[in-house]
Amino acid sequence: MLTPDIARDRALDIVGRARAAGADAAEATLAASASIDVSVRLGALEDVGRSEEEELGLRVFVGRRSASVSSSDLSSQGMDALVERAVAMAREAPEDKWAGLAPEDRLMTGPLPELDLYDDGEPAPASLKEAALAAEDAARAVPGVTNSEGGGASASRLAWALATSHGFAGAYQTSSHGIQASVLAGGGGAMVRDYAYHAARHRRDLDSPEAIGRKAGERAVARVGSGKLSSGPMPVVFDPRVGSSLVGHLAGAISGAAIARGTSFLLGKLGEAVFAPGITIVDDPLRPQGLRSRPFDGEGLAVARTEIVREGVLTTWLLDSASARQLAMEPTGHAVRGGGAAGVSTSNAYIAPGAAGRDALIGDIARGVYVTELIGMGVNGVTGDYSRGAAGFMIENGEITRPVDEFTIAGNLIEMFAHLNAADDLEFRYPTNVPTLRIDGMTVASG
Residue 15 has pLDDT above 80, yes or no: yes
In a domain, 195, yes or no: yes
Domain range for 60 is: 4-221
Number of domains into which the chain is organized = 2
Q: Is residue 124 part of a domain?
A: yes
pLDDT digits (tens, 9 = 90+) for 321-356: 999 999 999 999 999 987 677 899 999 999 999 999
Asked whether residue 293 is domain-assigned, the answer is no
pTM, entire model: 0.95
Spatial contact of 442 and 415, defined as CB atoms under 8 Å apart? no
Is the pLDDT confidence value at 226 over 80?
Answer: yes
Residues 92, 26 share a domain: yes
Question: How many CB atoms within 10 Å of residue 127?
Answer: 14
Which one of 169, 188, 221 terminates a domain? 221
Same domain, 363 and 233: yes
Could you tell me what percent of the chain has a pLDDT over 90?
95
81 burial class (0-12, 13-18, 19+ CB within 10 angstroms)? middle
- Chain segment 198-218, per-residue pLDDT in tens: 999 999 999 999 999 999 999
User: What pLDDT score was predicted for residue 121?
Assistant: 83
- The verdict on residue 322 lying in a domain is no
Model confidence pLDDT, tens digit, residues 76-101:
999 999 999 999 999 999 999 999 99
212 and 239 assigned to the same domain: no
Cβ atoms within 10 Å, residue 289: 17
Calculate mean pLDDT across residues 253-281. Answer: 97
Question: Angle 302-305-309 (CA atoms, 0-180°, nearest 5)?
Answer: 130
> Is 292 among the domain residues?
no
pLDDT of 53 higher than 70? yes
When pLDDT is averaged across residues 37-49 and rounded to a whole number, the result is 97
Assign residue 198 the CATH number of its domain.
3.30.2290.10
Per-residue pLDDT, averaged over 417-439, amounts to 97
Same domain? For 191 and 240 the reply is no
Q: Same structural domain for residues 98 and 236?
A: no
Last residue of a domain, one of 221, 256, 287: 221
Q: Are residues 417 and 373 in the same domain?
A: yes
Residue 272's pLDDT is 98
Residue 338: inside a domain, yes or no? no
pLDDT of residue 339: 65
Domain co-membership, 232 together with 95: no
Q: Let me know whether 92 and 240 are in one domain.
A: no
Same domain, 191 and 142: yes
Instruction: Find the mean pLDDT for residues 105-123.
Output: 94
The verdict on 137 and 152 lying in the same domain is yes
pLDDT of residue 216: 98
With vertex at residue 127, the alpha carbon angle to CA 123 and CA 130, rounded to the nearest 5 degrees, is 150
Are 194 and 233 in the same domain? no
Q: What DSSP assignment string belongs to 172-194?
A: EEEEEEEEEEEEEES-GGG-EEE
| 274 falls within a domain | no
The answer on 424 and 387 residing in a single domain is yes
The verdict on residue 314 lying in a domain is no
φ and ψ of 289, to 5 deg: 65, 10
Distance CA 400, CA 15 (A): 58
Per the prediction, the chain carries an average pLDDT of 96
Pick the closest to residue 231 from 446, 59, 429, 425 (CA basis).
Answer: 446
pLDDT band at residue 426, thresholds of 50, 70 and 90? very high
Q: At what angle do helices 4-20 and 76-92 cross, to 10 degrees?
A: 50
State yes or no: pLDDT of 187 exceeds 90: no
